[in-house]
Amino acid sequence: MTTTDVLDKAPAAAPVRGGRRRSATLLAGCTLTGLIALLALVSLVWLPYATDDTSGGRLAGPGGGHLLGTDKLGRDLFTQLMTGSRIALAAGLGSVLTAALIGVTLGVLAAFAQGWLDDTLAAFLDILIAFPTLLLAMLVVAARSATLGSAVLAIGLAQSAVVARLVRILVKRVLAQDYITAARTSGTSWPRTVAGHVLPNIWPTLVVNLALQFGLAVLAEAGLSYLGLGAPPPNASWGRMLQEAQATFTTAPAGALAPGVLLVLLVVGVNLIADGLRDTLDPATRQRRS
């Protein structure tokens, strides 16, 4: 073997991938989430009906030109589900990105802070966590307006506290390790140490948590929309579809069941992804499994 291919390649001897159960988890999660993402992508270029097309007659049952029937205003349910998937995914992604950006920055800072600053940050995060997400969201929505952006901002803010607290603990734990001291004794500067050693080592735990937060954000957005605090009409959010179908549940259950089922599928999907990621990202578990 030559020394030229010494770095950055998977060891030939060690079975890195393996364990059918793990890849099955990840695969199942990706499939579920992928299906809904596909729905959202298709909705960008094609919809069965226009979103404001009320020609279908009220509360029509499934079949007869409407795959899942229509709602109480005569709009096609499947069309609404498709546009709703866009909102659900956007809410999840937007919130998680906001939470990751603010949370990781705050968490790393808090981990490095000492004395009163550390205490203050920790207390601030605890308060933010103790503050109910929905209440925070209502405040944000009241201060701004009921748009998807407000909802995402509110959910992202609330989640950033959770992420920050997790990151703070993870970073502190990593900083106490000898390899950080070793890196520093070899003259690695703090920024390089954080980028090269700290972040990669908290990444497996962090990314699993972010995946879970994605699921929670989707649920939170649905909750906000249910309360009328999410994306305003005529945008069809799954949460609002649930709310609108509530009154007619006994006569036309499809209107409530369909968005509910999709919501569950998406959340279960990202949770499966989180589980699968946890097992594949850590080289130590990777080996134990194989």
Partner 1 sequence: MTLLDVHGLTVRTADGRTLVDDLTFRLDAGERLGLIGESGSGKSLTTLALLGLLPDGMRAEGSVELAGAQVVGATEKRLTAVRGRRAAVVFQEPLTALDPLMRVGRQIAEPLARRTGLKGRQLRAAVGEALDRVRLPEPGRIARAFPHEVSGGQRQRVALAMALACEPDLLIADEPTTALDVSVQAEVLDLLDTLVRERAMAVLFVSHDLAVVARIADRALVLKDGRAVEEGPVLDVIGAPTAEYTRTLVTGARKLEAALDLRSAR
Burial profile 176-205: b = 16 or more Cβ within 10 angstroms, e = fewer: eeeebeebeeeebeeeebbeebbbebbebb
- Omega before 200 cis (within 30°)? no
Q: What separation, in Å, do the N-terminal and C-terminal C-alpha atoms of the chain show?
A: 25
Nearest CB to partner 1, comparing residues 5 and 52? 5
Minimum CB–partner distance for residue 192 and partner 1 (Å): 9
Contact range with partner 1 by CB under 8 A, out of 87-95, 230-238, 246-254, 280-288: 280-288
Of 43-51, 84-92, 263-271, 277-285, the segment contacting partner 1 by CB under 8 A is 277-285
Q: With binding defined as CB under 8 A, does residue 52 bind partner 1?
A: no
- CA-to-CA distance for 259 and 261, rounded, in angstroms? 5
Structure tokens at 43: 């909705």
Among 51, 188, 235, 243, binds partner 1 (CB under 8 A): 188
- For the bound state, the minimum distance from the C-beta of residue 181 to partner 1, rounded and expressed in Å, comes to 6
* Dist. CA 62–CA 84, nearest whole Å: 19
Binding to partner 1 by residue 15, rule CB under 8 A? Answer: no
Name the strand (E) or helix (H) holding 264.
Answer: helix 254-281
177 binds partner 1 (CB under 8 A): yes
Q: Does 250 bind partner 1 (CB under 8 A)?
A: no
Does the footprint of partner 1 cover residue 186 (CB under 8 A)? yes
* Binding span for partner 1 by CB under 8 A among 33-41, 176-184, 244-252, 256-264: 176-184
Burial of 137 (0-12, 13-18, 19+ CB in 10 A): buried
Number of residues that bind partner 1 (CB under 8 A): 38
Least spacing, CB of residue 58 vs partner 1, in Å: 58
Shortest reach from residue 174's CB to partner 1, in Å: 9
- Round to whole Å and give the CA distance between 103 and 277: 20
Buried/exposed code over 53-74 (b: 16+ C-beta within 10 A; e: otherwise): eeebeebbeeeeebebbbbeee
Q: Which stretch binds partner 1 (CB under 8 A): 7-15, 157-165, 243-251, 262-270?
A: 7-15
- Answer for which of 31, 120, 189, 251 binds partner 1 (CB under 8 A) is 189
**Nearest residue to 218 via CA among 232, 239, 246:** 239
* Residues near partner 1 (CB under 8 A): 1-14, 114, 177-179, 181-190, 196-197, 200-201, 203-204, 282-284, 287
